[in-house]
Amino acid sequence: MKKNPFDEKYGRKWLNDILRSDILIVNFEKKDGTLRDMHCTLMESKIPDDKKPNGLGKAKSDDVLPVFDLEKQEWRSFRFDSIRSVTWNVDNYDYSKVDFQEGM
């Protein structure tokens, strides 16, 4: 298995910064062991007004990233160490994908 870059502070900041300006598909392993693709973002323009953060949320963990799930239209989160791949749209045509597992 390749080293997960989100185990490091720089990788976590990189992901957070991209989510603030783009929509990503994050593939991660859920607690029950199943894999999930989540279309998510932190772009304020993509979050409905009634779902925008008000500062009264849960305590922040350095191991978990809360994101807005565009398919469920709800806030969800995933653990950084559970991320298997990240995909994003480039120029509305191609997709760039970063895999963190061998054989994918």
How far from 49 is each of 2, 9, 38, CA to CA, in Å?
39, 30, 21
DSSP conformation letters of 5-26 = GGGSHHHHHHHHHHHTTS-EEE
Number of domains in the chain: 1
Q: What string of pLDDT tens digits covers the 104 residues of the chain? A: 567 777 788 888 989 999 999 999 999 999 999 999 999 999 999 999 999 987 766 667 889 999 999 999 999 999 999 999 898 875 554 445 566 665 44
Structural domain includes residue 65: yes
Say whether 57 sits in a helix, a strand or coil. coil
CATH of the domain at 13: 2.30.30
Q: Which domain holds residue 94?
A: 5-99
What is this structure's pTM? 0.81
Structural domain includes residue 57: yes
